[in-house]
Structure 1
Amino acid sequence: MGSVPESVLAIGATLGEGPVWVAREAALWFVDIKEKRIYRFDPGLGVARSWDAPAQVGWILPTQDGLFAAGLQSGVHRFDPDDGSFALLHAPEADRPGNRLNDATVDPAGGLWFGSMDDGEEADEGRFYRLYQGRLTESGLPPVSITNGPAVSPDGTLLYHTDTLGKRIWRTRIATDGTLHDTAAFVDIEEGAGYPDGPTIDAEGCLWTGLFAGWAARRYDPAGKLMSEVRFPVANVTKIAFGGPDLSVAYATTARKGLTNDQLVAQPSAGDLFAFDPGVRGQTSYIAII
């Protein structure tokens, strides 16, 4: 595995998103939001299995009962891959049918953090939530149009959350009771560099973000300083996840969404799953206690 990203699964996803390494299976799970599909990629065999979802699906994360939580447009569902069934657990925005769930992570305590967004990508209707042991709470963070993340620091004290259209990543402190305080700007993406998409934190506490329409993924240190940039052969890089036995492989989902026919011809691997050597290990992906 080299430092230049290479396609490892040619699926041409419309909007590939939400990659997560599930250690109990030694497999990478991710979704294609617009095609309403969940994927499980086995890197050892180089093959994938997929399931159809009943609505747009923003993320898939492992839960303490050996199953999964899935963020569908209609709310948080329990997903059983054995029979492909979905069971609604929480519908936090049943009064906002134009919204959908978009991205998520699990903190070290097992809390499931996730965001919503305006599916039309215009109105500031996106909010962040935390689900833990059956209790769903709204974060209280200001609403934006497209949320991404959140991501949590290795010690569980910092929450990174993205305003994609505002091209800003924010950092907020997490109190021991799960409440948030001291929100401050962490990184602003400069004009012409694309839009910050899904954030991920590595084992050294540095933040990686995909850049939609930016042809790259970037790594920032805990102070918000740009450390490195990995260039891709496709424009829409959505999110990074660390996997493999020692979490030393970086996987990246990408998207065909928004590309013209000419751009798709020039980017034949747009929407594929990529992998590269990031030169750093990821942190453990935690199990959601929902």
Structure 2
Amino acid sequence: MTVQRSEPVSVWHLGAPLGEGPVWVQRDRALWFTDIKSHRIHRFDPATQVKTSWEAPDQVGFALPIAGGGFVAGLKTGLARFDERSGSFTPLADPEPGLPDNRLNDGTVDPHGRLWFGTMDDHEAAETGSIWRLHADGSCVAESPNYSITNGPALSPDGRILYHTDTLGGFIYACDVAEDGTLSNRRVFATIPNEEGYPDGPTVDAAGCVWTGLYKGWAVRRYSPAGELLETIRFPVSAITKIAFGGRDLKTVFATTANKHCSPADLEAEPRAGDLFSFDVDVPGLPGVEVSVGI
């Protein structure tokens, strides 16, 4: 079944070097996302078309809502509480104090309100990145082997399967999630050859299907829960980093993109690289969960 109902169109001409971390915040009825390399957090209200931005103190991979207000931001220096009203950032935890060349890259919240996030080598070479979970006591627990570029995680609708990506390796992995949050039974969910694009951020829809942006692949892909490729949605730009489902019925897909790899000639060929895009689908996404554990 084809779920795409419209073609991707640019809704915010940002030209972001590295747009990332889109998340629909229901209490705000808006899409939040980041531009990692420009140290920016962005908010887009599709109903009013209002666009708002905040400057972060360093590279910022994600901003996820906290129960009761505010956000958890994933900075190069670790987790911080972000208050959108004042624009302030308050440090919370540094999972890798001994790895100054690493940065936080992508994150999500599971059905229990637990924050999951990945780290990566900022030079995109050394295998020093991991998938982490914020523990109830505020500490961070590593839950994966090391990769140079991690992406995800993302959770199945019941929260029992966690997906994460080894971007340079071209693998999307699936793991079983225990009640206490520990992972087991890591297995390859999908393999994407580098010549087809690099799997970037994964997202799961209400049918349990896994979507992934393709960096340098000009598309996003949708896989069945069994790992079968179901659909490929083409974009007018080459680097799609991640999607999020939003809107009144969670059937509007928003996609962040990047242009940091683009030469002047590339930018002439894809002038919308780095923009925020949207398109409509027939299968909705999952309602967002706010962080409530360890905060």
Q: TM-score over 0.5 for the alignment?
A: yes
CA-to-aligned-CA distance 1:235-268 (integer Å, 9 cap, x gap): 0000000000110100000000111100001111
Q: Does 1:178 align with 2:161?
A: no
Q: 1:77 to 1:210 in 2, by over 3 A?
A: same
Please list the CA deviations of residues 32-61 of structure 1 after superposition, one character each: whole Å capped at 9, or x if unmatched: 000000001010111210000000000000
SS state of the match for residue 148, structure 2?
A: coil
Q: Tell me the distance in 1 between the aligned counterparts of 2:260 and 2:166.
A: 19
Where does residue 151 of structure 1 map in the other structure? 154
- Aligned counterparts, 1:233-252, within 5 A: 233-252=236-255
Match of 1:58 in 2: 61
CA offset digits 1:172-230 (Å, max 9, x no partner): 00011111111100000024210000000000000000000000000000000000000
After superposition, the C-alpha distances for 1:14-43 in whole angstroms (9 at most, x for unaligned) are: 100000000001000000000000001010
Runs (4+) off by over 4 Å: none
Q: Are 2:268 and 1:265 aligned?
A: yes
C-alpha offsets along residues 51-82 of structure 1, whole Å, 9 cap, x if unaligned?
A: 00000000000001211000000000000011
Query: Which of 182, 199, 203 is the equivalent residue of 1:200?
Result: 203
5+ residue gaps, structure 2, are none
Where structure 1 has 5 or more consecutive residues not aligned to the other structure, the ranges are: none
Q: Deviations over 1:135-191 (max 9, x none)?
A: 334233110000000001110100000000000000000011111111100000024
Of 16, 20, 34, the match for 1:31: 34
Which is worse superposed, 187-196 or 48-57? Answer: 187-196
Is 1:139–1:180's contact at 8 Å kept on the other side of the alignment? no
> Does the CA-based 8 Å contact 1:110-1:132 persist in structure 2?
no
Residues 129 and 136, structure 1, Cα contact 8 Å, conserved in 2 = no
Is the contact between residue 154 and residue 163 of structure 2 (CA under 8 Å) also seen in structure 1?
yes
Cα distance in 1, alignment partners of residues 138 and 184 from structure 2: 20
* Aligned partner (choices 135, 138, 152) of residue 135 of structure 1: 138
* Structure 1 residue 131 displacement after superposition: 1.1
Q: Residue deviations 1:102-161, cap 9 Å, x none?
A: 000000000000000000000000011111434334233110000000001110100000
Equivalent position to 2:91, from 88, 91, 108: 88
TM-score for both structures, normalised by structure 2: 0.96
Question: Does the alignment pair 1:42 with 2:12?
Answer: no
Q: How many residues align?
A: 290
Q: Does 1:284 align with 2:287?
A: yes
Residues 201 and 283 of structure 1 are in contact (CA less than 8 Å); yes or no, is this contact kept in structure 2? yes
2:95 is aligned with 1:107: no
Local SS of the residue matching 1:192:
helix
Give the counterpart of 1:15 among 13, 18, 42.
Answer: 18
Deviation at 1:2, TM superposition (A): 4.8
For 1:223, the equivalent position in structure 2 comes to 226
Mapped contact 1:128–1:139 kept (Cα < 8 A): yes
Aligned partners of 1:139 and 1:179 also within 8 Å: no
Query: For 1:140 and 1:44, how far apart are their aligned partners in 2?
Result: 39
For the pair 1:76 / 2:79, whether they are aligned, the reply is: yes
Which residue type is aligned with residue 268 of structure 2?
Answer: V
What is the distance in 2 between the residues matched to 1:134 and 1:76?
A: 14
* Secondary structure of 1:181 counterpart: strand
Aligned mates of 1:92, 1:282 — CA distance in 2: 30
- State the alpha-carbon separation in 2 of the partners of residues 224 and 160 from structure 1: 11
Kindly provide the amino acid, as one letter, of the partner of residue 206 in structure 2: A
Kindly indicate whether the alpha-carbon contact (under 8 Å) linking 2:93 and 2:138 is maintained by their aligned counterparts in 1: no
The percentage of aligned residue pairs carrying the same residue is 55
Note if contact 2:39-2:59 (Cα within 8 Å) is conserved in structure 1: yes
| Counterpart-to-counterpart distance in 1, 2:156 and 2:232 | 20
Distance 2:74 2:66 in 1: 13
